[in-house]
A and B are shown apart, each in its own frame.
Chain A
Amino acid sequence: MEHKRFELAMSPHVGTHQSTRKIMFDVVIALLPALAAATWFFGPGALLIVALSVGAAVLAEYLCLKFMKRPVSFAFDGSAIVTGILLAYNVPPGVPWWLPILGSAFAIAVGKQAFGGLGHNIVNPALLGRAFLMASFPILMTAGWTAPEEWRNGQNNPWETNGIVQEELLEMPNADAISGATPLNVLKQSFDLDKSADLANKEGNHAEALDLEARASGIRHALSQKSTYLNLLVGRRGGCIGETSVLLLLAGALFLIIRGVLEIRLPISYLGTVAIFAWVFGGSGWFNGDPIFHVLAGGVILGGFFMVSDMVTTPVTPKGRIIFGIGAGLLTMIIRRWGGYPEGCSYSILLMNLVTPLIDRFIRPKVFGEVKEND
C-alpha cells in the first residue's frame, strides 16, 4: 500500500512565538531609553562607550565561538548585545575608550564562553566584566565621574571629580572631606565622618566628635537638598552611564513586564529589601534612613530590573527567586552602609549568582499532591 510519509517529532507540536532571540532583543529595547538619558546628561561620549562595548562583546562572542568550532549563529542571538550594553551602563561616563572594550571582551570570553556559552555561565558576564575592570583599573573606574549636562557647557573634564552634588557641597564649610561625585559617594563620606566621630568619642575628644557629627549631618542635609527625588528620578546626577535615569529604566522594565519577559519577583524582593534595610539602618540612627533615596540613588534600579532579574544566573523557582532578591538586597546594603565601596549593587549580585545553583538544588516547589502522600 502506498501512503504519504510524514516527519516524526515529539509532542507538543505547537508552541508560543516566544524565543530566546526575541527575549534578548526585548531586553535590548528596554535598555535603550536609559541610553537616551545617558547621552543627554553625559554627552555623546557615553553613546560611544556603549557602542564600543556592544561591538566588542559581539566580536568577542563571534571569535570565541569560531575558535571553539561552535555554531557562530549564537553570536547574533542578542545576548552579547545585552552584555555589552550592561557592561557599558556599569562604568563611569569619563572612562577612556579602550576600557569598555577590554571589559566586554573579558565578560564574554571569561564570564560566558569559558563556561559553555549562553545559558551555562554562573555569574552575570557584564558584572564579572565590571568587577574585572574595578580590580584592574580602580582609579579609572572610580574617578571618571562627570557632572550631568556639563558637556554642553564646554567644560568636560572627566579626570576631575566634579559631580553636581559635590560642586554644590564645595561651597559648604568643611566640605574638604568630600572627594566623590555620586550621591552614594557623598553619603559614604558622611558615614565615614560618623565613624571618625565615634573614634573621637572613644578617645575622649568630645569637642572634635561633635564637630565631626555636625559635618556628617550637614553633608546629609545638603545631599537631601541637592539630590532631590526629582533629580534622582530623571537622572540629573553623577553616576555610571546607564544607572542614573530611574524613570527611563522603569519605562524599560514596564515594557519587559508587558512582554512577559521580566520576572517581577526578583526586582520586587531585591528593591524591597534595599528599601527596608535603608529605612532601618541607612540613617544616622535606627529607623530614620531614607529608603527612597537609597532606591533611587546608585545602581539598584538598573541592577534590580536588568541584572538581578537576569534569567541565566538567577534561580528558576519562584521561591528561589525571592530568596535571591532578599540576599542580594541585604548584601547591597551591607556594602553601602559598612563596606569599603559606596555602592554594593554589582558585587551583591555577583555573590548571589554564585549561590544560585545551591538555591536551585534545595529550593523546589512542592510537587502537586506531595503533602497528602505523607499524611
Chain B
Amino acid sequence: MTRARTFRGGTHPPGNKGLSSGKSIRKIPAPDIVRIPLCQHLGAPSKPVVSKGDTVIRGQEIGAQNGFISLPTHSPVNGTVTGIEDFPMPHRRSGSVVVIETESEEGGQIFEKWDDFHDHSPAEIIERVKQAGISGMGGACFPTYVKLSPPPDKKIDTLLINGVECEPYLTADERLMLERPDDIILGMEILAYTLGVQRCVIGIEINKPDAIDVMEKKGVTVLPLKVKYPQGAEKQLIDAATGREVPAGGLPLDIGVVVQNVATAAAVANAVRDGEPSIRRIITVTGQGVSSPCNYDACVGTLFADLIEESGGYTGDVERLISGGPMMGIALYTDGVPVTKGTSGVLALSPQEVRDIAEGPCIRCGKCVDVCPLKLVPSMIATAAENRRWQMAKEYGALNCMACGTCSYVCPAGRYLVHYIKNAQDAIRSGQGEGV
C-alpha cells in the first residue's frame, strides 16, 4: 500500500463508526405507504405526472424532469397514488410528496437491461443515467448526468470515486464497498467509459482497511487517504489525489477531474446493467439514541420513523435527530420525514454525544483558521456576518465556504460559525446590503 495522502487543515472528530460498521446491509421492504418527494436532488423539483387514484408500477416515472439541473422521480413500488401533498422534508422545511399505497415490490421493469455497456454510446449512457434519476449520493445530490456532460472545451483526464466517508458515524459507503464491490467497479468502468478517461482511482480512508483490501483484490487502483475530516469533500479529495486545486468558485471539471461517490457509481451500474432507476439506497441508522444501529437498503419514501422502528426504537433520551452525519447533517424536529436519494444516514444522538456548550465571545485563538480546509478566516467572516457587514464577509471569502463545520467543531467558544457564514452567503447571494 502506498503512503496515505491527505490535504492541509482539517480535524479529527471521533469516528464512532464501530456502532454500525460491523452490521451487514439489511434490505427492508417498502412500508405500506411510501411518500416520494418530488425534489430529492439539487435543482428544480420534478413535475408530478400522476394524480390521485392512478395506479403506478415499480420504476414508473411519477415526476418529470423540469429543466437542465433537475431529474425525474420514480415510484419504488407497485400501488395506488392516494394524493400529492406537502410534507416535512429531511433537507428543507417541507416539499411536495407523491403518496403511494404499496401493493407489492415485484417486477416493474421499465428500462431495458444492458448486458454490455460497451454496446452503447456514451450519449446513450448519459441519457440512461438521466432517465434513471441518479443524483450524487454522497450528500450534495447534484444530478449525475450533468457531471457526465462536461462542456467540450473541458478535457477530463481523471475519474475519482469517493469512498472516503469522512463523516463520523456513517458506514453506508463502507458496507457498500464490502458487500457490493462489483456494482461499484462496474459503475466506475461505465463512468470512465462515458467520460473517456483512462485514469480512474477510488479514494478510501485508511480506517477502512477491509474496504481497501476488497477493492485492491479486485484490481482497482485504490488511493489510501489519511483519516481526517473533511477528507471526503470534493476539493480536498482532489487535492490529496492529484495535487490540483479546484479554482475558488470553479468546478472540478475546470481542472479535468470528475468525482463520483461510491454509492452513485453503484447506482449507475444498477441503472445501466439492470435497468433500475434510483429508488433505493443504503442508509446508516446509528447513534447512542437508537437501540440497535444498522445499515439498511431501503427504498426512497420510507419514513425515518420506520427505520428507527426497524432498529428497535429510541433508547431513552434523544437529544438530536439528524439526517446525514454529525458534522454537516441537518437536525430534524420530527422523524416523520421520508428517505431521499441523498439520505446517507439517520442519526439519533444522545445528550452525551451532542456538544453542550454555551456560545461565548470569540477569543481569537485562530483554531478555525488553522483547520479551515479552504484556508478561510472563519472567525472574521462570522464576525462580519454577525454585524451584518455582508460586503466585508464577501471580501473575506464567505462564498467559498462549503459549510463542512470543521471551524465550529474546534471553536473553544462554541461559536456557531457555520451558521453565521451561511447567513452571510444567503444575504450576499440575495443581493442584500450591497455596498455595506
Contact = CB atoms under 8 A, between A and B. Distances in A.
Contacts of A5: 333-334
Interface in B326-361: 326-336, 347, 349, 353-355, 357, 360-361
Contacts of A364: 377, 396
Interface in A233-254: none
A368 B334 contact: no
A372 interface: yes
B409 A15 contact: yes
Given A14-B409, A119-B361, A3 B168 contact: no
B334 A12 contact: no
Contact of B364 (A22, A77, A119, A373): A119
Interface string B281-309: 00000000000000000000000010000
A15 B328 CA distance: 12
Given A6-B321, A23-B365, A120-B361, A14 B375 contact: no
A13 B326 contact: yes
Contacts of B355: 12-15
B403 interface: yes
Q: What class of interface size applies to chain B in its complex with A? A: 35 or more
B186 interface: no
B74 interface: no
B364 A316 contact: yes
A366 B376 CA distance: 8
Interface in B121-169: 168
Contacts of A15: 355, 357, 408-411, 414
Contact of B418 (A4, A10, A373): A10
B289 to A, nearest CB: 10
A7 interface: yes
A367 interface: yes
Contacts of B330: 11
A90 interface: no
Interface string A110-139: 000000011110000000000000000000
B331 A13 contact: yes
Nearest to A260: B367
B333 A14 contact: no
B336 A3 contact: yes
Contacts of A119: 360-364, 413
B409 A16 contact: yes
A19 B412 contact: yes
A13 to B, nearest CB: 5
A321 interface: yes
A348 B317 CA distance: 54
A369 B410 contact: no
A3 B237 CA distance: 39
A12 B328 contact: yes
A13 B314 contact: no
Given A3-B335, A8-B333, A368-B245, A117 B361 contact: yes
A13 B410 contact: no
A155 interface: no
Interface string B226-249: 000000000100010000011111
A16 B331 contact: no
Interface in A186-201: none
A127 to B, nearest CB: 16
B95 interface: no
Contact of A368 (B248, B305, B408, B409): B248
B393 to A, nearest CB: 13
Given A317-B369, A365-B369, A367-B375, A13 B414 contact: no
A4 B318 contact: yes
Contact of A6 (B247, B334, B365): B334
B111 interface: no
B374 interface: yes
Contacts of B24: none
A280 interface: no
B409 to A, nearest CB: 5
A316 B380 contact: yes
B45 interface: no
Contacts of A6: 318-321, 331-335
A290 interface: no
Interface in B4-55: 11, 13-14
A18 interface: yes
A316 B379 contact: yes
B322 interface: yes
B181 interface: no
B402 to A, nearest CB: 10
Interface in B233-279: 235, 239, 245-250, 255
B301 to A, nearest CB: 15
Given A13-B329, A13-B355, A373-B248, A365 B375 contact: yes
A210 B360 CA distance: 63
A263 B368 CA distance: 13
Nearest to B245: A369
A370 B349 CA distance: 38
A258 interface: no
A70 B370 CA distance: 31
B56 to A, nearest CB: 23
A369 B331 contact: no
A7 B319 contact: yes
Contacts of B410: 15-16, 18
A312 interface: yes
Contacts of A19: 357, 412-414
A368 B168 CA distance: 24
B400 A368 contact: yes
A332 to B, nearest CB: 22
A367 B400 contact: yes
A20 B377 contact: no
A322 to B, nearest CB: 12
A288 B343 CA distance: 69
Contacts of A8: 331-333
Contact of A14 (B13, B367, B411, B422): B13
Nearest to A375: B247
Interface string A307-322: 0000111111110010
B373 interface: yes
B375 to A, nearest CB: 4
B250 A12 contact: no
Nearest to B169: A14
Interface of B: 11, 13-14, 168, 235, 239, 245-250, 255, 305, 314, 318-322, 326-336, 347, 349, 353-355, 357, 360-367, 369-370, 373-377, 379-380, 396-397, 400, 403, 405, 408-414, 416, 418-419, 422
Given A13-B326, A369-B235, 9 more contacts: A7-B333, A10-B408, A13-B349, A13-B354, A15-B355, A119-B362, A119-B413, A312-B364, A316-B366
Q: Which 3 pairs, one residue from A and one from B, show the smallest C-beta to C-beta distance?
A: A15-B355, A12-B405, A119-B361
